[in-house]
Amino acid sequence: MMATVDQTHQFAEQIEKAAQRQVAKFRKLARGVHPRSCPICTYVGHFTAFGQPPRLDARCPKCNSLERHRLFRLYADKHQWFDDAHAVLHFAPETQITPYIEARVDRYETADLSDRRAMTHQVNIEDTGLPDSSYDWIICSHVLEHVDDAKALAEMHRMLRPGGRAILAMPIVEGWARTYENPEITTPDARMVHFGQADHVRMYGRDVRKRVRAAGFDLSEVTAQEPDVLTYGLMRGETLFIATKPAGAAPAQEGT
């Protein structure tokens, strides 16, 4: 007897759920091969798997830091990014780096669309309603690939003081000259297939730099290098962008 369309869907769903359970089990057991050091919590030992598909050497089992949090911490220390006069706005605040920043600055605020994570401001990064020229730092890690990035970058530029800096991180395919966007891809399933996560709306190529500059920023970057990659379990070549609002930047104008 032929299976009905409903039965076929049900069967496919069961297979999918079973596969997800196997991946979850694997992720729990899997770990890196070499011991690493965590610059955030000083743990030394094996990191554990994280991500979809899982990266074996990604997560510190003590403080839950991922590669990008450790990269952030290393460079924040090295370049002494924060001081006790600074005001900081942290989008989609990551608890792995929050205490480090909060302890070093005058004013630490967080923002998110979801009230669970927002803590200070429950706002949309595309239009926050927060005041002009009021932050020395904005931290925006793995947010831009979810939103209208031109609006979000303009908004960050507006909120930063002249000379203020935004730390930006996003998934990038450096081998691509151009960012992949596709307006026909709108469902969570299709976004997962095309962009690697159900709520991502693009996959950046190396032209992400042009997008940041187009919002009026000067741009520099730091990249995970050896021996830090081996020592701290970083992602080879992962980049943090430092987008500076030029000191002479004109104040934001309504509607621009």
* Contacts (CB under 5 A) with Zn ion, residues 86-105: none
Q: Write down the H helix ranges in 33-93.
A: 67-78
Nearer Cβ to Zn ion (48/65): 65
Nearer Cβ to Zn ion (97/169): 97
Cβ-based neighbours of 202, under 8 Å, separated by 6 or more: 145, 149, 179, 180, 181, 195
Q: Select the span of 64-72, 154-162, 172-180, 206-214 touching Zn ion (CB under 5 A).
A: 64-72
- Distance between CA 140 and CA 240 in Å, rounded? 10
Identify the H or E element spanning 56.
strand 55-59
Binding flag, residue 60, Zn ion (CB under 5 A): yes
Nearer Cβ to Zn ion (47/137): 47
Name the one residue in this structure whose structure tokens are 């950046």: 204
User: Closest approach of Cβ 8 to Zn ion, in Å?
Assistant: 45
End-to-end CA distance of the chain: give it in Å, rounded: 64
Nearer Cβ to Zn ion (99/162): 99
Nearer Cβ to Zn ion (97/243): 97
Burial class (CB in 10 A: 0-12, 13-18, 19+), 20: exposed
* Chain centroid offset of residue 163 CA: 22
User: Closest approach of Cβ 105 to Zn ion, in Å?
Assistant: 21
* Contacts (CB under 5 A) with Zn ion, residues 103-162: none
Nearer Cβ to Zn ion (43/176): 43
User: Closest approach of Cβ 217 to Zn ion, in Å?
Assistant: 31
User: Closest approach of Cβ 42 to Zn ion, in Å?
Assistant: 7
User: Closest approach of Cβ 40 to Zn ion, in Å?
Assistant: 5
Nearer Cβ to Zn ion (135/232): 232
Q: With CB under 5 A, what is the number of residues at the site for Zn ion?
A: 8
Cβ-based neighbours of 82, under 8 Å, separated by 6 or more: 76, 88, 101, 104, 105, 137
User: Closest approach of Cβ 249 to Zn ion, in Å?
Assistant: 37
Closest to 196 (Cα-Cα) out of 14, 1, 52: 52
Return the residue of 31, 51, 54, 63 that touches Zn ion, per CB under 5 A: 63
The answer to whether 221 and 241 have CB atoms below 8 angstroms apart is: yes
Return the residue of 62, 142, 161, 206 that touches Zn ion, per CB under 5 A: 62
Letters for 22-51 (x = contact with Zn ion by CB under 5 A, - = none) are: ----------------x-xx-x--------
The answer to whether 30 and 56 have CB atoms below 8 angstroms apart is: yes
Distances (CA, A) of 174 to 57, 133, 207: 21, 32, 9
Which residues would be at the binding site for Zn ion (CB under 5 A)?
38, 40-41, 43, 60, 62-63, 65
